[in-house]
Amino acid sequence: MRRSVAEVSLSLGVLALGIGVTGVTATLPSGGGYAGIGPNFIPGVVGAGIILLGIWLAFEAFTDGWRNAAPDDAAARGEHAFHGAGFAWISAGLFIHMALIGWAGFVVAGVVLFACVARGFGSARLARDLGLGLVLSVAIYAFFVKLLNVNLPAGWLAPLLGTAGV
């Protein structure tokens, strides 16, 4: 008898999503015109499908675990034990990037993201990471803004980078 907390949680998560989709679908209008079905019909089908799949997954999780699942042994999956710090550094980097990009600009946010991700992969050379991040971000910024005319925020570095467009 094999039961995995992760499989049970994921199954119940799918089930919860299905219930949520069905709940929101109930608020959609059903007016259908010639077809006789409205914008709520397919969402209803998809919601019901997700609920059924959640039940199916949960059934497998509670009886012997998911069928044909990845092996329980980490080495057999080609993995080491879960390394939380790596996961956390990348997540933190993406959230700081989200907060910074609007006002500090694409380049500053990119440098911070670069350094955080590199740290998550075990880099201990902060100065090198900041330098490489700066070179890459400025290169991307210059290419997209000056050459392709894509609008990216200059933020704090606006006096140095100039404004968008050629």
Partner 1 sequence: MEAFDALLAGFGVALKPINLLWGFIGVTLGTLVGVLPGVGPALTVAMLLPLTVKLDPTGALIMFAGIYYGAMFGGSTTTILLNTPGESASIATALEGNRMAKAGRAGPALATAAIGSFVAGSIATVLLTLLAPLVVELALKFGPAEYFSLMVFAFITVSAVLGSSTVRGLTSLFLGLFFGLVGIDGQTGQPRFAFGVGELLDGVDVVVLAVGLFAVGEALYVAAYQSRLTESLEKLKGSIWMSKADWNRSWPAWLRATGIGFPFGTIPAGGSEIPTFLSYATEKKFSKHPEEFGKGAIEGVAGPEAANNAAATGVLVPLLTLGIPTSATAAILLGAFQNYGIQPGPLLFQSQAELVWGLIASLYVGNIILLVLNLPLIGIWVKVLSIPKDILYAAILVFATLGAYSLHQSWVDLLMLYVFGLLGFAMRRWDIPVGPAVIGLILGPLAETQFRRALSISQGDATVFFTQPISATFLAVTAALVVAPWIVRRMRRGRTA
Residues 38-67 that bind partner 1 (CB under 8 A): 38-39, 41-43, 46-47, 49-50, 53, 56-57, 60, 66-67
Q: How many CA atoms are closer than 13 Å to the CA of 37, on its beta-carbon side?
A: 6
Binding to partner 1 by CB under 8 A, coded x per residue (else -) over 1-40, reads: -----xx--x---x--x---x--x---xx-xxxxxxxxx-
Task: Find the shortest distance in angstroms from Cβ 160 to partner 1.
Answer: 19
Residue 97: CB partners within 8 Å, gap ≥ 6? 109, 110, 112, 113
> Can you tell me which residue has the tokens 């993995």?
79
- 103 interacts with partner 1 by CB under 8 A: no
Select the residue interacting with partner 1 from 8, 12, 86, 156 (CB under 8 A): 86
Distance CA 100, CA 37 (A): 45
Q: For CA atoms 57, 59, 62, 64, give the dihedral sign.
A: negative
Residue 144 interacting with partner 1 (CB under 8 A): yes
| Residue among 64 and 79 whose Cβ is closer to partner 1 | 79
* CA dihedral of residues 30, 32, 35, 39 (deg, nearest 10): -50
Nearest CA-CA partner of 10 in 66, 49, 64, 68: 66
151 near partner 1, judged by CB under 8 A: yes
**Mask of contacts with partner 1, 116-135, x by CB under 8 A?**
-xxxxxxx-----x--xx--
- Torsion sign across C-alpha atoms 42, 44, 48, 51: positive
For partner 1, which residue of 136, 138, 157, 164 counts as binding (CB under 8 A)? 136
We find the least distance from the C-beta atom of residue 156 to partner 1, in angstroms, to be 17
146 binds partner 1 (CB under 8 A): no
